[in-house]
Structure 1
């Protein structure tokens, strides 16, 4: 499916841009979440193009990692969406090169321990994972330090390539 089905209002983009980079990006990601019903699976994957999936991936990544780190991201089922897709490559193409490297570093840990990381857990077992997977700590810390810059870089890329992310309605 192409962008002629995904439309965002120019006025919503203007309002978002005035409110800040994350609000600007949210105009797009809210639309993608609406179209996919917030579910990414075999049925909904074709509803978005690669650019749109990359931006939605960043939305999930940012939301999950800022709240609960890579453990939460993976336990909430986003591991495959981030690590099995060309997300890191897309982030590099969007201009977020250091962030892209960080994703590749996290992917190494994910790939090495995938089965265990994705296992269903009790709340207690989930909390224990943070000690078990301290290897993610430095990567999470690095992301926290670069998050604003990464979000700004991605917002700039989206702004310069609007037609890849949605059709803008006057």
Structure 2
């Protein structure tokens, strides 16, 4: 993990964030990943993070996008390939989030069947109309809302138990 070791997070920041909650704990890592990648998840960013780091960043982006505007927004904002064409769902299962992994695989079936249309550039009215055209995402979004807190807990516990896969933790003065 030589290349990834360049991504460091401070022990102090982790401790402080852990006291504030699971979301804040995970955000310490993902904020750093976004800093390292310049906020991008394109081909240039791929070699900057390892697979676990990409998974964690993918989870943050998934949560933000789906909570704000559902799967349609996630895909329209360009994150469809990052989530559905990478081993994101498998990695989430390995992290212990089995039900969430199944949900992502279900969403991927819809994505795969309609990818060209889902990724097509849209104006605001066309974008809003997509919510009616892709109502099949609605149940999955609702399921995610119901499981999000539990999934975030599973992910946070996994990260806490495998810190070396996610960043090099540095203490003050190191």
TM-score (norm. length: structure 1): 0.99
Is the contact between residue 4 and residue 48 of structure 2 (CA under 8 Å) also seen in structure 1? Answer: no
Residue 37 of structure 1 aligns with which residue?
A: 38
The 5 Å alignment of 1:26-65 reads: 26-65=27-66
Structure 2 distance, partners of 1:18, 1:99, is 25
Structure 2 distance, partners of 1:2, 1:139, is 36
Q: Deviations for 1:129-159, whole angstroms, at most 9, x for unmatched residues? A: 0000000000000000000000010000000
Residue 164 of structure 2 aligns with which residue?
A: 163
Residue 15 of structure 2 aligns with which residue?
A: 14
Residue 147 of structure 1 aligns with which residue?
A: 148
Number of residues paired by the alignment? 170
Structure 1 distance, partners of 2:51, 2:17, is 23
For structure 2, which runs of at least 5 residues remain unmatched after alignment?
none
RMSD of the TM alignment (CA)?
0.7
Residue 133 of structure 1 aligns with which residue?
A: 134
SS at match of 1:158: helix
TM-score (norm. length: structure 2): 0.97
Which aligned runs of 4 or more in structure 1 are off by greater than 6 angstroms?
none
For structure 1, which runs of at least 5 residues remain unmatched after alignment?
none
Residue 89 of structure 2 aligns with which residue?
A: 88
Structure 1 distance, partners of 2:64, 2:3, is 26
Q: Deviations for 1:9-28, whole angstroms, at most 9, x for unmatched residues? A: 00000011011000000000
Residue 4 of structure 2 aligns with which residue?
A: 3
- The answer to whether structure 1 residue 70 and structure 2 residue 71 are counterparts is yes
Q: Deviations for 1:75-95, whole angstroms, at most 9, x for unmatched residues? A: 000000000000000000000
